[in-house]
Amino acid sequence: MAIKVTEDYVRFDAGDTSLILACAIGERPRIVYLGGRLFASHPAEIDLIHTRQHAHGSADVEIAPSILNELGAGVVAKAGFLVHRNGDEWYSFFSVTAIECLSEEEVVITCLDHHTNIEVKHTISMMVDNEVITFQTSVQNVGRSMLNLQSCMAACVPIGPQFDQTIGFSGRWAGEFKLQHIPKFIGSYVRENKKGRTSHDAFPAIILGTAEADENSGQALGFHLGWSGNSHIEVERLSDGRAFVHMGEYLFPGEVLLGAEEIYQTPILYVGYSGDGFNGLSHKFHNALKSKVLDDRKQNKPRPIHYNTWEAVYFDHSPQKLMELAQRAADVGAERFVLDDGWFGGRRNDQTGLGDWWIAAEVYPEGLKPLIDHVNALGMEFGIWFEPEMVNPDSELYRKHPDWILSAGDLEQVPFRNQYALDLTRSDVCDYLFGCIDDLLSHHNISYIKWDMNRDVHHPGHAAGRAVTSKQTKALYSLLERIRNAHPDIEIESCSSGGGRADYGILNHSDRIWTSDSNDALDRQHIQRGASYFFPLSIMGAHVGPEVCHITGRKLSMELRVATAFLGHMGMEMNLLDETPENLKILKLGISLHKQYRRLIHQGDFYRLDTPDFVNAVCVVSKDKEQALLSWCNMTGHSETLPPRIFFTGLKPDKLYRLRIIWPVGLQSITSPSIIDVMDLAGMGELVMGEALMKIGVQAPLLHPETCIIYHVQLDD
């Protein structure tokens, strides 16, 4: 049982995490403590030792923060709740009226502000099996007049003073999930995303750590807003030593107006604590995502190897060529063939046809059935691309329904990939989209959708007026659910110009993310590492791209490209008809090796290694610690004579493991004899104790830059 409710407190304990809330009836609801597990201490004692005293130049009584730091209480920290009624009644002040346990993991704290007639409910849970805490707040207008809700965070979480390391996320198209280490500060680190999608540059997450925290040690807190719309993320460090993390939706002016009895609900904020560094945090988030967010019927199925047509043909579709590609893909081991953009309406380039979701007769005179049958006969599933939320002005749909788009007054649309966003808050728009998708799925053997979304939404106005990004995001989730309910076996990939819509909100309605449009293996090493803080390898689309990357122009070996896609949900995205027989052989070998190890890759515990900058190293260890894979990638050259040692992690110290290098096949070092030769690492390998692999480490072989090797260790029985 994670929850213990006493008269004045609610306490959650699981694993190494504790959360204590003060919520006496009639008092303001407060987060007293969130951090490492407390065993003996009583909540009242924890509350007491937080006592702060009066300081000159401040209020005569210390005003404690509350879950929303609302204005009426006079808290000096940033307010997490801003409302008014026609300019008045901004002074919210909540007191607890009821506490209800919904389950062994979840509690609802109901609060009323009887001064301004607003009720809020904080739904708070701690998942017993992975210790991730969730906060979600709903606001109900229990007054008669219109309530203008300017902002409401899911929660304002107080942070202990020891968490003074701040890590945020930045990025760009084809360069997502870049970590940024923020120097110590007083004030706020704020990320405001108003792009109408999760975004490439402001992934809604924050990691805080103690000063010395690294991948494997130190204390860390992780925060992620499971939301695919606009977001506000803030780490606030006050000059009085206190600190908070605020996370919620970024709302446009007038976006949430609540009439009598109407309710607004925030997105879910996920919070994790780790006493074992950032890797410990990732394990909890990965496990929470797998057990509570994703549809486990899909996740338990081995992740099929993809072949995606985009970079092979772009808009130049020909059934004959696609069939040849399908044949090649099957030959090298693909299990799912995904037909990307260009199969429908007049979509022969990116300026026309979006919205016209019928098979293009000029390209597919016999429909898609012959291609699908061919793909199925080759033993592959068939997947198809949609970008349902968008319309090209040059389309039949737009010509018929120009009023179906989001817009703002008479402002010109901001040009963006020649397309406008449809207004999903209109039921006729969703009915149309559902009808088109349902019709195609009902009449074809299609088991997978790549659901794309390729523009920021600058003018999210319904009928050119009220901003509706919040409602639009919820409508998107409902549309996805409607499709999943009608076609329970369908799997959905969330793509938004690559990784522009990757978050736990969308993953509650989909099964995979397209991590980035960059298939450049070296870029991907960074991108996948960045994504791994919150996302497990099983949902991270990772494709072997062409030899010369279409985005960076960099030429990279097939061995490196395979090694990089190997630790992910593996696939391919290149013109296989252009590849040399030698490269196809290497690709086929890599794919068959991935199939051999994919259970471990997708179900094991994932670790990032702390290494010098010229290397990216990650590792995945089976839950029973019987085997592990470790990928070591020389991104560039090293400055010292030899590369460093490689420290394994997560193994059983007192057990013998057989150490081998499984990729690339037949690897040789630059000079000999090397450790590869003396330990026969490219052959049968050697037996080494777990403690030696973890404490002493294995000498990395001398390799050229842009070489990635994969070790395998197997417990010897």
| Residues identified as active-site | 452, 517
Q: How far is the CB of 238 from ligand DGJ (least distance, A)?
A: 41
Closest CA to 175 of 193, 195, 198, 200: 200
Q: What angle do CA 636, 642, 643 make, to 5 degrees?
A: 50
Angle between helices 427-443 and 469-486 (to 10 degrees): 30
Residue 436 burial (CB count, 10 A): 18
Q: How far is the CB of 100 from ligand DGJ (least distance, A)?
A: 44
Question: Which residue's CB is nearer to ligand DGJ, number 236 or number 452?
Answer: 452
What are the b/e assignments for 516-555, b being 16+ CB within 10 Å?
A: bbbbbbbbbbbbbbbbbbbbbbbbbbbbbbbbebbbbeee
Q: How far is the CB of 511 from ligand DGJ (least distance, A)?
A: 16
Question: Which residue's CB is nearer to ligand DGJ, number 385 or number 566?
Answer: 385
* Position closest to ligand DGJ via CB: 341
| 178 three-state secondary structure | strand
Applying CB under 6 A, the residues found at the interface with ligand DGJ are 310, 340-341, 385, 452, 454, 495, 497-498, 514, 517
Q: How far is the CB of 548 from ligand DGJ (least distance, A)?
A: 18
Q: Is 202 exposed, middle or buried (0-12, 13-18, 19+ CB in 10 A)?
A: buried
Is residue 420 within 8 Å of residue 393, measured between CB atoms? Answer: yes
Which residue(s) pair with 22 in the sheet? 9, 30
DSSP 530-548: HHTTTS-GGGEEEEE--SB
Q: What angle do CA 41, 46, 48 make, to 5 degrees?
A: 130
Instruction: Say how far apart CA 423 and CA 492 lie, in whole Å.
Output: 21
Q: What angle do CA 424, 314, 592 make, to 5 degrees?
A: 100
Q: What angle do CA 447, 332, 559 make, to 5 degrees?
A: 115
Question: Which residue's CB is nearer to ligand DGJ, number 175 or number 498?
Answer: 498
DSSP 373-435: HHHHHTT-EEEEEE-TTEE-SBSHHHHH-GGGB---TTPPPPP-TT-EEB-TTSHHHHHHHHH
DSSP 633-691: EE-S--SSSS--EE---SS-TTSEEEEEEEESTT---SSSS-HHHHTTTTTT-EEEEHH
Q: Length of the chain in residues, anyone? A: 717
Q: Is 103 exposed, middle or buried (0-12, 13-18, 19+ CB in 10 A)?
A: exposed
Instruction: Say how far apart CA 455 and CA 458 lie, in whole Å.
Output: 9
Question: Which residue's CB is nearer to ligand DGJ, number 282 or number 454?
Answer: 454
Q: Is 310 exposed, middle or buried (0-12, 13-18, 19+ CB in 10 A)?
A: buried
Is residue 503 within 8 Å of residue 225, measured between CB atoms? Answer: yes
Q: What angle do CA 425, 427, 432 make, to 5 degrees?
A: 115
Give the tokens for residue 324: 């040849």
Residue keyed to tokens 């994703």: 294
Question: Which residue's CB is nearer to ligand DGJ, number 452 or number 559?
Answer: 452
Question: Which residue's CB is nearer to ligand DGJ, number 453 or number 480?
Answer: 453
Instruction: Say how far apart CA 405 and CA 392 lie, in whole Å.
Output: 10
Q: How far is the CB of 306 from ligand DGJ (least distance, A)?
A: 11
Give the tokens for residue 347: 């979509």
Instruction: Say how far apart CA 77 and CA 494 lie, in whole Å.
Output: 36
Identity of residue 339: L
Closest CA to 592 of 275, 305, 192, 352: 305
Question: Which residue's CB is nearer to ligand DGJ, number 449 or number 495?
Answer: 495
Angle between helices 521-531 and 558-566 (to 10 degrees): 10
Instruction: Say how far apart CA 102 and CA 131 lie, in whole Å.
Output: 17
Instruction: Say how far apart CA 32 and CA 19 lie, in whole Å.
Output: 8
Q: How far is the CB of 13 from ligand DGJ (least distance, A)?
A: 43
Biggest CA–CA distance in the chain, Å, is 83
Helices (H) and strands (E) in the chain, counts: 15, 38
